[in-house]
């Protein structure tokens, strides 16, 4: 087999992309406190330490709750927007959808400070998990729309019409026909939104209440060299989880495409 220069470059690029991640498990199982070569020996102690860290457990619980709520709300909003985008024209359609998609290109720090100002300084609210959820929904919705747009646009509009024609109302036609057909997209959107929220730090750092989220907690640990191997262990688990979740999401997205009978052309974005 002939490998082109371009192919070698692409593989080098992949190595560049994966270089940091490959290091994670290496140091997670290394028994030195200092994160550096040469490696000293094998241990699973860092993982054991994770199990006893109650502060971390609290942060993880928080993050899971925030991620779950954000994913559900963002996917709900994303479904509505994507469906609206796929149905006929309405006034200011492009402008409205564009505005909802805006957080995709807005620096996260702008969203963070804008929400901080309005929630705390103007409305005098207390920061809590819900303030983080509010912001995460905002940044997850565009991703949800991007994923579901594909699902709704691949949907033959006569499917729903056929259901209407066979006696169903708009609502039952949506439930019986449209929803099952876009379900893979919805699951994929839930998983992606969940992953984004779980990993988001910049906004959470501004808006988190007295209970930190997991990334905020990790950020705190990064200052203490002694806790770094534990972070490596945690990171290893997170990466593994992310890959599993994404693989499931990708599987559902492809199954959705296969159902709609279209050829697979791209990734999530």
Partner 1 sequence: MAWGSNLDSDARRGLMLVSPPLVYAVLLLALPLAAIVLFSFWSQDFVTVNTTFTLNNYQRIWNEPIYGLLLQRSLFVSGAVTLVTVVLAFPVAYYISFHVDPKRKSLWLFLITIPFWTSYLIRVFLWKVILGYNGVINSGLLSAGVIDEPLTFILYNINAVIITLAHAFAPFAVLPIFVALEKIDRSLLEASQDLGEGKVMTFFRVTLPQAMPGVAAALVIVSIPTVGDYVTPELMGGAGGKLIANMIQTQFLQLNNAPLGAAIALVAMAAVVTAILVIYAQGKLLIAVYSELNGTRPVFDIFILCVTMLFLQVLVAAALLRTLGGTLGSGVAFFVGLVLYSIAILLLLKNRRR
Partner 2 sequence: MTALIHLTGVQKYYGDYHALRGIDLEIRKGEFFSLLGPSGCGKTTLLRTIAGFETVSSGTLMIDGKDMKGVPANLRPTNMVFQSYAIFPHLSVGENVGFGLRKYPMTKDEKARAVGEALEMVGLGGYGARAAHALSGGQRQRVALARALILKPKVLLLDEPLSALDKKMREQMQVELIKLQRQVGITFILVTHDQEEALVMSDRIAVMFEGEIGQLADPETLYRRPNSRRVAEFIGKMNFLPGEVTKLGERITVEVPGLGTSEIGKEQAPGGAKLGRSLIGVRPETLAIQFEGEATDRRVADATVDEVVYYGDMTYYDVRIAGIEKPLTISMKNLIGRPVLDVGTRTRVIWDERSLVVLAR
Footprint of partner 1 on 129-158 (CB under 8 A): 134-135, 137-138, 141, 145
Query: Which range, of 126-134, 157-165, 217-225, 245-253, touches partner 2 by CB under 8 A?
Result: 157-165
| Count of residues in the chain | 269
Q: Count CA atoms closer than 13 A to 71's CA, side-chain side.
A: 22
Please state, in angstroms and rounded to a whole number, the distance separating the CA atoms of residues 142 and 232: 31
Query: Which range, of 51-59, 80-88, 159-167, 179-187, touches partner 1 by CB under 8 A?
Result: 80-88
Lay out the site mask for partner 2 across 112-151 (x = CB under 8 A, - = otherwise).
----------------------------------------
Residues 16-55 that bind partner 1 (CB under 8 A): 16-21, 23-24, 27, 34-38
Among 55, 102, 166, 179, contact with partner 1 (rule: CB under 8 A): 102
Least CB distance from residue 208 to partner 1, whole Å? Answer: 11
Report the Cα 125 to chain-centroid distance in Å. 27
Residues 183-222 that bind partner 1 (CB under 8 A): 195-196, 199, 201-202, 205-206, 215, 218-219, 222
Buried b / exposed e along 207-231 (16+ C-beta atoms within 10 A): bbeebbbbbbbbeebeeeeebbbbb
Query: Which CB atom, from 71 or from 182, has the smaller least distance to partner 2?
Result: 182
Interface with partner 1, residue 224, by CB under 8 A: no
Least CB distance from residue 245 to partner 2, whole Å? Answer: 24
Least CB distance from residue 85 to partner 1, whole Å? Answer: 8
Q: What angle do CA 24, 29, 32 make, to 5 degrees?
A: 100
Please state, in angstroms and rounded to a whole number, the distance separating the CA atoms of residues 235 and 47: 10
Asked whether the bond before 50 is cis by omega within 30 degrees of 0, the reply is: no
Residue pair 46/28 in contact by the 8 Å Cβ criterion? yes
């Amino acid at each position: 087999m002939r490998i082109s220069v371009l192919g070698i470059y692409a593989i080098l690029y992949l190595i560049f992309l994966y270089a940091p991640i490959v290091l994670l498990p290496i140091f997670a199982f290394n028994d030195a406190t200092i994160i550096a070569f040469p490696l000293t020996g094998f241990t699973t102690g860092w993982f054991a330490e994770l199990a006893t860290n109650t502060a971390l457990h609290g942060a993880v619980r928080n993050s899971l709750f925030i991620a779950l709520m954000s994913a559900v709300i963002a996917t709900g909003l994303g479904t509505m927007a994507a469906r609206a985008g796929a149905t006929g024209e309405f006034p200011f359609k492009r402008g409205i959808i564009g505005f909802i998609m805006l957080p995709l290109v807005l620096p996260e720090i702008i969203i963070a400070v804008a929400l901080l100002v309005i929630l705390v300084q103007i409305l005098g609210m207390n920061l809590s998990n819900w303030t983080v959820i509010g912001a995460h929904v905002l940044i997850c919705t565009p991703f949800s729309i991007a994923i579901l747009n594909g699902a709704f646009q691949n949907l033959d509009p006569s499917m729903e019409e056929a259901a209407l024609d066979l006696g169903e109302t708009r609502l039952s036609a949506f439930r019986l026909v449209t929803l099952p057909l876009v379900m893979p997209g919805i699951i994929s959107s839930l998983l992606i939104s969940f992953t984004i929220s779980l990993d988001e730090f910049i906004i959470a750092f501004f808006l988190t209440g007295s209970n930190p989220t997991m990334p905020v907690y990790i950020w705190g640990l990064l200052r203490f060299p002694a806790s770094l191997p534990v972070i490596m262990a945690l990171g290893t688990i997170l990466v593994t989880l992310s890959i599993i979740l994404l693989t499931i999401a990708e599987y559902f997205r492809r199954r959705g495409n296969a159902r709609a009978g279209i050829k697979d052309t791209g990734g999530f974005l």
